[in-house]
Amino acid sequence: MTSFADFGLAPEILRAIEEQGYTQPTPIQDQAIPVVLAGRDVMGGAQTGTGKTAAFALPILQRLLPHANTSASPARHQVRALILAPTRELAAQVAESVAEYGKYTPLRSTVVFGGVAMEPQTDALRRGVEILVATPGRLLDHHQQKQLNLSQVELLVLDEADRMLDMGFIPDVKRILSLLPPKRQNLLFSATFPDEIRKLCASLLSSPVTVQVAPKHATADMVTHKVYPVSRERKRELLIHIIRERDIRQALVFCATRLGANRLAYQLNRDGVHATAIHGDKSQLERLEALDQFKSGKVGVLVATDVAARGLDIEDLPYVVNFELPNTPEDYVHRIGRTGRAGKSGEAVSLVSPDEHEKLADIEKTIRKQIAREILPGFGPGAARTSSLMPERKAERREREEPSLTGSAGRRAERGSRSERRANAEPTRKAAAPVDDIFFKPYEPSQASVTREEPVEAERRKPERQVAALLGGLRKQG
Ligand code: AMP
């Protein structure tokens, strides 16, 4: 069995690894570390939770050691490695890992991402760093303001490339590539490899070594998947029932929209379940606070949207709940990547309403697995179309596929909720227009030291009124 020492890593790096409590490399580390140390390009198929950060960060630190020095002169601390990550949370976590693993070396690192003031970042860049972790937009902002010299970059990492694509960052990434010296080592990590990512690999990577820890679309082996058929209106009740029944202390609950996540967190709190929401509408500080509260156990339920949860490093999470199924099967894979980590068992629970059965079928096709259904007494059979989700009733499915809401108000409500979902949805590959001005705005240089504004209250309230009307409509139906 390989140990970290077998890779020939420097004692100061090994010391930091030991302090982290890592006793042996994970499979992705086993595969990637020697390849990166050998200077080869890497195409890495790995999702968060596999130890992929250390898989690139450790050999990068090792390769940069010849540049390590204790000089105070910024000129002696040029950016040698650039790590691009799609979200602020992921960038912050990667930077934290790099700093931990490199703490006994004089190599310097920092992170830049949007949504916070530029000045402290500019100061750190001015002082000089060897390793820079960045989200694409903010990196371009700094470059535009001539705060950044990328002419000495030797190593580039594109982390979670598929998410970069989902979030519309590929043009920014390409712009960044054009700013880098052509001769460099490139590492690309992605959980999935849609065609566009394959194209990017072909243009970016030169004779890459492929390292992969889970076959495409395979979900973590240690995760038990379960579907609870339920009507849309009773999902919250069912969620609370499951949380109480099983005495769940920590669960990450996914909603399809930011509005939905906010509303669910609010309602859970009202019903006595401590919950907080994390999504693109929240400021960086609010998101980090929510994450901290969750990690420290202050709140038991973190309600998240796909974009916000991407890359979150939450260890040993026993439960991931899909309050709503994601728009793409790939997102299901990403979501459940939060549980069943490092050999621990985890449970992925999906509350599936009849209108989601096509999404469920797509997910099952993608993960090549039929997910077990369980109807909880009092929650399933009452809902007209719930049983159409039971596999043994497939033949009857067509007959059951009438709208669950009857009457014109019901249809209006369905239409309304769908368009609300569309309007607020975090982007998917198919999303035509950016919806989150923090994440999805095409690149525009921002003003120095300006914190990006959160959407004004009026904008937030508008859809809530629609939903209130919607719920009223539903209640009248009942
Ligand atoms: P990542 O996939 O990089 O987000 O890492 C997931 C989690 O695994 C992080 O909490 C790491 O600290 C942890 N981790 C990374 N490498 C190892 C290792 N070799 N042994 C144990 N835990 C690790």
Assign residue 295 the CATH number of its domain.
Answer: 3.40.50.300
363, 365, 369, 375: CA torsion to nearest 10:
50
Is residue 196, in this structure, part of any structural domain at all? yes
* CA 152 to centroid of ligand 1, rounded, Å: 29
Looking at the fold, whether 142 and 245 belong to one and the same domain comes out as no
Q: Are residues 74 and 205 in the same domain?
A: yes
Mean pLDDT of the chain: 78
358 and 380 in a single domain? The answer is yes
Q: Which of 193, 212, 231 is the last residue of a domain?
A: 212
Query: DSSP string of 231-257?
Result: -GGGHHHHHHHHHHHTT---EEEE-SB
* CB-based pocket (< 6 A), ligand 1: 22, 25-26, 29, 48-54, 313, 315, 342
pTM for this entry: 0.57
* Parent domain of 20: 4-212
Q: Is residue 464 part of a domain?
A: no
Asked whether residue 440 is domain-assigned, the answer is no
Of ligand 1's listed atoms, the one at least distance from the Cα of 48 is 2
Containing H/E element for 137?
A: helix 136-144
The dihedrals phi and psi of 211, each to the nearest 5 degrees, come to: -120, 135
Ligand 1, atom 21: closest residue by C-alpha:
22
Closest CA to 114 of 423, 444, 457, 459: 444
| Residue 453 resides in a domain | no
Which one of 162, 193, 212 terminates a domain?
A: 212
- Of 384, 399, 414, the last residue of a domain is 399
Q: What angle do CA 396, 401, 406 make, to 5 degrees?
A: 135
Residue nearest to atom 14 of ligand 1 (CA): 51
Q: What is the pLDDT of residue 472?
A: 29
Q: Are residues 278 and 129 in the same domain?
A: no
- Does residue 266 sit within a domain? yes
- Do 208 and 237 reside in the same domain of the chain? no
**How far is 227 from 338, CA to CA, in rounded Å?**
17
Residue 49 alpha carbon to ligand 1 centre in Å: 6
Both 22 and 127 in a single domain? yes
How many domains is the chain built from? 2
In a domain, 97, yes or no: yes
Judgement on whether residues 205 and 349 belong to the same structural domain of the protein? no
Q: How far apart are CA 352 and CA 332, in angstroms?
A: 13
Q: How far is the CA of 52 from the centre of ligand 1 (A)?
A: 7
Q: Check whether residue 231 and residue 179 sit in a common domain.
A: no
State the 10-residue block means of pLDDT for the chain, 478 residues long.
93 97 92 97 87 96 97 97 93 96 98 94 97 97 94 97 86 96 96 88 95 60 84 93 88 91 93 86 74 83 81 68 91 76 72 93 85 85 48 38 31 33 34 30 33 30 32 31
Q: Are residues 289 and 230 in the same domain?
A: yes
Do residues 272 and 371 share a domain?
Answer: yes
The answer on 238 and 115 residing in a single domain is: no
Ligand 1 binding pocket mutation candidate from 19, 23, 26, 341 (most atoms within 8 A of CB): 26
